[in-house]
């Protein structure tokens, strides 16, 4: 029964029996895995405080051939979103974890997705504003999955989108304001497009220097939620928590 050690992001847990938990976690080298944390629900569990969603840690697990579930030996937290004292930030933790869980296939390594999640945890712990961080995370997650349309040129005329654009009804392309019907939803102002341009060039910890107005935040939220809902064909459960605690707008 080989022992594997890896850097991992905890995504979520489920109760198992009277004292254990099933843990869903993402590793950089072996993708998303599921394992059993024996005694994790006991008061003096060695896993105490290490299994919160989006916790980054060093873990080790035993793996048996032809067994879907591995057995966790330990999880040593390295960085936790619980270091943030922002209610809004903590409300987004489950949302970030659910998005990664939905898009990460089982046992399929995706180092870029892991690094994105790890960078978001670090940024939450550092106290970065969660609004710009959430829009950044959505943008890069959708981009890594090949879902986000090109943001530099209109898909119809090839014109510059820096002055603003609109997401077409199908959700696959962005067009300039001249090419899109004025009453079509999914509009992104010049301020929203400027944020996307900056997001392409900076790391999450640098977002403190990138401005995002409340209006541009609402525009990006609507467009991103439309893209997420279209490609997952459902609304995330965690989004309701975010909306109830932050009054975030629903997608069009």
CATH at residue 16: 2.40.50.140
Task: Please say which residue of 78, 95, 127 terminates a domain.
Answer: 127
Count the neighbouring beta carbons within 10 Å of the beta carbon of residue 170: 8
How far is it, in rounded angstroms, from Cα 121 to Cα 71?
25
Q: Read off the pTM.
A: 0.91
CA dihedral 170, 172, 176, 179 (to 10 degrees): -40
**Statement to judge: residues 153 and 37 lie in one domain:** no
What's the whole-number mean pLDDT along residues 80-109?
Answer: 91
Q: What is the pLDDT of residue 250?
A: 47
**Statement to judge: residues 103 and 156 lie in one domain:** no
How far is it, in rounded angstroms, from Cα 109 to Cα 136?
22
Q: What is the pLDDT of residue 16?
A: 95
Q: What is the pLDDT of residue 169?
A: 72
Identify the band that residue 90 occupies on the pLDDT scale cut at 50, 70 and 90: confident
**Statement to judge: residues 117 and 172 lie in one domain:** no
**Statement to judge: residues 216 and 247 lie in one domain:** yes
What's the whole-number mean pLDDT along residues 14-28?
Answer: 95
Task: Please say which residue of 127, 146, 171 terminates a domain.
Answer: 127
How far apart are the two ends of the chain, measured CA to CA in Å? 50
**Statement to judge: residues 251 and 140 lie in one domain:** yes
Q: What is the pLDDT of residue 21?
A: 96
Mean model confidence pLDDT for the chain: 90
Scanning the structure block, which residue is given the tokens 């080790």?
A: 60
Strands 20-27 and 3-16: antiparallel
Identify the band that residue 185 occupies on the pLDDT scale cut at 50, 70 and 90: low
Domain count within the chain: 2
Q: What is the pLDDT of residue 56?
A: 96
Based on the number of CB atoms within 10 Å of its own CB, is 198 exposed (0-12), middle (13-18) or buried (19 or more)?
middle
Identify the band that residue 180 occupies on the pLDDT scale cut at 50, 70 and 90: confident
Task: Please say which residue of 127, 148, 167 terminates a domain.
Answer: 127
Domain that holds residue 8: 1-127
**Statement to judge: residues 6 and 119 lie in one domain:** yes
Lowest mean pLDDT among 32-36, 112-116, 172-176, 181-185: 181-185
Residue 235 above 70 pLDDT? yes
Identify the band that residue 158 occupies on the pLDDT scale cut at 50, 70 and 90: very high
**Statement to judge: residues 122 and 136 lie in one domain:** no
**Statement to judge: residues 4 and 117 lie in one domain:** yes
């Amino acid at each position: 029964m080989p022992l594997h050690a890896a850097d991992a992001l905890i995504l979520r847990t489920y109760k198992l029996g009277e004292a254990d938990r099933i843990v869903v976690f993402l590793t950089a080298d072996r993708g998303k895995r599921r394992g059993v944390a024996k005694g994790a629900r006991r008061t003096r569990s060695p896993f105490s405080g290490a299994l919160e969603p989006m916790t980054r840690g060093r873990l080790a697990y035993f793996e048996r051939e032809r067994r879907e579930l591995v057995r966790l030996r330990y999880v040593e937290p390295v960085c936790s979103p619980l270091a943030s004292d922002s209610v809004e930030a903590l409300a987004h933790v489950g949302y970030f974890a659910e998005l990664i869980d939905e898009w990460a296939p089982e046992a399929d390594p995706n180092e870029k997705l892991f690094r994105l999640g790890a960078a978001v945890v670090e940024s939450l712990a550092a106290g970065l504003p969660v609004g710009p961080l959430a829009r950044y995370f959505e943008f890069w997650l959708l981009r890594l999955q090949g879902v986000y349309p090109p943001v530099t040129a209109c898909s119809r005329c090839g014109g510059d989108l820096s002055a603003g654009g609109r997401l077409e009804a199908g959700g696959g392309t962005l067009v300039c304001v001249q090419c899109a019907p004025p009453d079509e939803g999914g509009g992104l102002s010049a301020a929203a497009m400027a944020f996307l341009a900056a997001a392409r060039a900076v790391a999450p910890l640098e977002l403190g220097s990138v401005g995002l107005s409340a209006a541009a935040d609402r525009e990006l939220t609507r467009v991103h939620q439309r893209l997420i809902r279209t490609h997952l064909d459902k609304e995330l459960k965690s989004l309701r928590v975010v909306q109830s605690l932050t009054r975030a707008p629903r997608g069009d």
